[in-house]
Amino acid sequence: MNPKTWIEVSESALRHNAQAFLGIAKKAKVMAVVKSNAYGHGLVESSRVLSKAGVHWFAVDHIDEALALRRSGIRKPILVLGYTSNHRLVDAVKNKISLVAYNVETIKALGKGRGVAKIHLPIETGLTRDGIRLEDLPSMIKLIGKYPNIEIEGTFLHFANIEDTKSRAYADHQLNEYKKALAIFKEHKIDPKYKHTASSAASILYSDTHFNLLRVGIAMYGLWPSVDTQRRTRRLSLGPVLSWKTIVAQVKQVKKGTPISYGLTERMPRNGTIAVLPIGYADGFDRVGNSRRGHVLICGKRCKVMGRVCMNMAMVDVTGLKNVGPESEVTLIGSQGKSSISAEEMADLAGTINYEIVARLNSEIPRIVVK
């Protein structure tokens, strides 16, 4: 296989990051969040490495991701964080996949089914997303109690701004609301086996959020949830897991003043050399951020993107570089020699976050596990 673009997943970096979180978890277990194709890193490829590294749980967004893990040989517990349609609930129960549940309709559908259904109840504490309000929790617990085949395996919350290290006030408010929910469970003589509130940032910064299960997403891949989080911690080092590469498709000499790409938005500033790359925004190479401003690495040097990024192509200035020709290797994210381009750099140019840059990488691009 000789793809025109590919993503390399560093096994050593991924194992290192997993071991770092297993270390700070102490007695708690670690759930690796591998939703959305493992944040662009490859669902099956990353999960196999993480399973061998010792993580205890996996979290996905939808039932098909969970089933893909089961087919790949992952037998560890899996939690579907996203919504599961009623007609797909049977697939979860059959394959011993735990579900997040917050609708009455979901509970009733599970109760009518066969087999033990394990659910995690999300508590609405201030994110105003999926979750059960405190005032609705007693009635939900009573409803679940009508169905002996439903087990409340866990309960959790999602922090709204735990990455904001300047003030923990809102996170503390959410945590206090969650503790009220735990008191309600206790009143009903229920003690969910797993309690999880710690996202990546919370896992790193605040041990009092750990309970007995850490839910680690972006940081598992060596990407920091925020600059503040990175600045505040000396507890662990994280290594970026992903490198994104392509090849040169064509090299051509271009005269000064020649327009480059659609819209004639940029002209060659001098007589020079352009390399055409066989990737574009359909692959996840952001059009807004990279057009006229982004860089790639060729021969260990930063080469500026010229003109607009196309759907399947982009042009870069390689003037002065020697030995550049068709199929020369190009790094879009990662390192070459002493130079590097990070997902954070690309995110800054696009006005977004590193999460989005890697999660948007086209799932059809091959993910190759390297040492």
Which of 221, 201, 245, 240 lies closest to 47, judged by CA? 221
Instruction: State the Cα–Cα distance between residues 180 and 134, nearest whole angstrom.
Output: 8
User: Whose CA is closest to 244, among 261, 228, 268, 221?
Assistant: 221
Paired tokens of 177: 């609301």
Integer Cα distance of 239 and 10 in angstroms: 9
Angle subtended by helix axes 43-53 and 63-71, to nearest 10: 60
**Residue whose C-alpha is closest to residue 84's, from 73, 71, 72, 94:** 94
Q: How many residues does the chain have?
A: 371
Is the separation of the CB atoms in 201 and 235 below 8 Å?
no
Tell me whether residue 180 is one of the annotated catalytic residues: no
Catalytic residue among 186, 221, 262, 301: 262
Cα–Cα separations (whole angstroms), residue 274 to 71, 83, 297, 325 = 45, 47, 14, 10
Q: Is 322 a catalytic residue?
A: no
State the Cα–Cα distance between residues 301 and 20, nearest whole angstrom. Answer: 32
Contact between 319 and 339 (Cβ < 8 Å):
no
Annotated catalytic residue within 27, 35, 195, 206: 35
CB atoms within 10 A of CB 331: 20
User: CA-based angle 241:247:251, to the nearest 5?
Assistant: 145
Q: Which residues are marked as active site? A: 35, 262
